Amino acid sequence: MAYNYPNVPVSGNSTIGDYQKKGLTGVITDILAAALAATAAPTAAATAASSGTGGLLAAGTYYFVFTEGNGLGQTTVSPEGLQLTVTTGQKPVFTFPTLKTGNSERFLYLGAVNGSSGGPYTLYASGITTTTYTAAIAAPTNSFAAAPPTTNTTGLSAESQVLARNVFNHRFDATYQFGHDVSVDFLSGKAVDFTETMRHIKNVHFAARMLERACSEIGTAIDANPGTLGLSGIVGNLFPNPQRTWP
């Protein structure tokens, strides 16, 4: 399994005037608007072929599907792949279609060994960023073995929006505290749900990355457009004031 950073879209602003007009709060608002909609689910099946030696997947036949993710959530499943046969020790190699726009990873789900077409499926591998993936390990039997999502969760949820909006509502401490509590609960051994814990952590991570993205955009704009320092005109008996101007 691999942990991938949540994707954060660009704000869509391009000129120094855009950033002067909107400031940090406006840029963050634009980023949130761009992230609100869910990304598209895969429309083509993956393919698979068995080869090699030293694999730990149980021998038999498998059906499989996959989802795509943007580091924040998952899409619904792809069409089912053609039945795969694995003999003892083989390592199936899965080949995936091109990621849909806005997605950055894949989640591979396998049906039970010698199971029927249509599932049920359980999570075999996550965080797959390459076009091909070699299945060398045994099917997980712990908390990783989750069912695929029934709804597309790549858009911003109510929780992720609240945690993100805390950034410009002067409540980032609340987002930090939420992330702290969620991580401590899991790491201390409490019987909390693995999938829910990961969802909470990703939502906190998105809020932090959103602030990073906004600062990066504004910093880049300022660096490229430093303007010129000068003095404002004298008004009455007032002394001129330093002022920055742009062409």
Q: What share of the chain is helix, strand, coil (3-state, %, to 5)?
A: 30, 20, 50
Inside any domain, residue 99: yes
- What pLDDT does 241 receive? 79
Mean pLDDT over 181-200 rounds to: 93
Mean pLDDT over 197-225 rounds to: 95
d(CA 48, CA 95): 6
138: pLDDT strictly greater than 90: yes
Inside any domain, residue 202: no
Summarize pLDDT for 56-82 with one digit per residue, the tens: 999 999 999 999 999 888 999 999 999
Inside any domain, residue 213: no
- What pLDDT does 236 receive? 61
173: pLDDT strictly greater than 80: yes
Inside any domain, residue 26: no
Spatial CA neighbour of 110 closest among 35, 180, 32, 58: 58
Q: Of all residues in the chain, what percent carry a pLDDT higher than 70?
A: 97
Residue 108 contacts by C-beta under 8 Å, 6 or more apart in sequence? 46, 64, 66, 94, 123, 124, 125, 126, 128, 133, 135
Inside any domain, residue 52: yes
Inside any domain, residue 211: no
pTM here? Answer: 0.78
- What pLDDT does 233 receive? 63
166: pLDDT strictly greater than 80: yes
- What pLDDT does 237 receive? 60
* Structural domain count, the chain: 1
Inside any domain, residue 239: no
Please give the residue range of the domain that contains residue 93: 47-134
Summarize pLDDT for 32-61 with one digit per residue, the tens: 999 999 999 999 999 999 988 899 999 999
